[in-house]
Amino acid sequence: MATTLSRRGLLSLGVGIGAGTLLAACGGEDSPEAANTRIVARCWGGVWETALQKICPGFTEATGVEVLNDPGSDTVPLLQQKPGQYDLAWLIGNEAARGLTSDVLEPIDTSRIEKWDSIVTRLSDGQTKDGKVSGVPISYTASGILYKTDKVPFKITSWEDLWRPELKGQVALQNAPSIGGLFLIFTGARIFGSGPTDYEAGWKALERLKDNVQFLFNTSTDGVNKLAAGSVAAVVTIADQGIPLKSRGVETVVPAEGSTWSVQNVTIPAASTRKDQAYEFINYMLKDETQVEWAREGKAAPASTTVTLPSEVSANLVETPQIAQSLWPIDWYEFGQNITEWTTRWQRIFGS
């Protein structure tokens, strides 16, 4: 018996074939030409993506390699889930370290980084463990205390001031697992303990700090916005964020005893098939003129020490050479290994 399809049946079949074709097209491979002239980078959104949009055309002009930026968070899990999708990944210190230890990232061949020796030593040391380098620092930001001068009845000069009773319920910290809050373990260890690795002293200090904490924020801008609005008196965050708020009565302090910091690295996923182009991009990012542009757009201090920033750019950054010298050493590998346990402990202290 011959089977005849009704109009609706044919329509369904058409939709099915169309959907199948679409799915097949989604999984299509690049042409060989495109494979060598385009790299895909996982980056952060917001100001970082904007900065990359301004910088990448120059790289394309110089090398003929186009950079496709895919902004988003949770990059390491994505690299695990989708190997081969990215040729570059922007990662902060502990993420890069974890990426390398979990074999998601390629160890950086520093001999291929033209200006490796010009990078601030504190930054490159933090990404190096047993001779393996997880990522190339491109820029960094120092942590600091931002406070409203009309709400804090004394001048903040030291990390220890955060524990003063006058700040009861007036401090905002970045929430774990973001590193901005967890840094205070290091701070507590140094200020109240026997040394930089006396983490138990750091935790005890955090427990004492709890009464002074009004809230924990998940994005750094949230804390700064509340400070500007006057609903909180002091915020521990990226120090550079305080500079635009000076006219609104916000003072920015990077205490003289030193500070923690965050670093913006470029890393190369182990599954990348365009590693040569990735190295080219990293070298381009470390060129002096690119570093200036990156500092201007990203509001972060250049990792290269050979860069002289124009005054209008340096005016927006607190990271002077003196502050670069006072950065505390951070072992991002140790930080990465401990972050799960530390986050849980943090939640036990601050959560209810």
Residues lying near other proteins in the complex (CB under 8 A) are found at 1, 3-6, 8-9, 12-13, 15-16, 19, 73-74, 76-77, 80-81, 94-95, 98, 102, 175-177, 214-218, 222, 225-226, 229, 231, 339-340, 343-344, 347-348, 350-352
* Cα 352 to Cα 348: distance, rounded to the nearest angstrom: 7
Q: For the chain, how far is it from start to end, CA to CA, in angstroms?
A: 71
Region of 195 (left: φ > 0; alpha: ψ -120 to 50; beta: rest) is left
d(CA 109, CA 133): 8
Q: Which residues pair with 128 in a beta bridge?
A: 133
**Shortest distance, CB of residue 84 to other proteins, whole angstroms?**
16
> Judged by CB, which is closer to other proteins: 74, or 114?
74
Closer residue to other proteins (CB): 104 or 301? 104
Nearer to other proteins, 186 or 350 (CB): 350
Separation of alpha carbons 222 and 219, rounded Å: 5
Of residues 7 and 247, the one with the C-beta less far from other proteins: 7
CB of 297 to other proteins, least distance (A): 24
Q: How far is the CB of 344 from other proteins (least distance, A)?
A: 7
In the complex with other proteins, the residue whose CB is nearer, 139 or 178, is: 178
* Closest approach of other proteins to the CB of residue 198, in Å: 23
Residue 85 has what DSSP assignment? S
Residue 39, C-beta contacts closer than 8 angstroms, at least 6 positions apart: 65, 66, 67, 68, 87, 88, 274, 277, 278, 281
Closest approach of other proteins to the CB of residue 83, in Å: 12
In the complex with other proteins, the residue whose CB is nearer, 97 or 309, is 97
CB of 214 to other proteins, least distance (A): 6
Q: Which is nearer to other proteins, 261 or 335 (CB)?
A: 335
Q: Which is nearer to other proteins, 9 or 310 (CB)?
A: 9
Count CB neighbours of 280 within 10 A: 18
At residue 352, what is the residue type? Answer: S
Q: How many residues does the chain have?
A: 352
Please state, in angstroms and rounded to a whole number, the distance separating the CA atoms of residues 316 and 19. 51
Contact by Cβ (8 Å): 233, 167: yes
Minimum CB–partner distance for residue 68 and other proteins (Å): 24
143 neighbors 239 (Cβ within 8 angstroms): yes
Residues 51 and 295: their CA atoms lie apart, in Å, by 9
Kindly state the smallest distance separating residue 81's Cβ from other proteins, in Å.
Answer: 7
Q: Closest CB to other proteins among 149 and 343?
A: 343
Q: How far apart are CA 143 and CA 258, in angstroms?
A: 9
Of the candidates 250, 246, 18, 49, the residue with the CA atom closest to the CA atom of residue 149 = 250
Q: How far is the CB of 144 from other proteins (least distance, A)?
A: 20
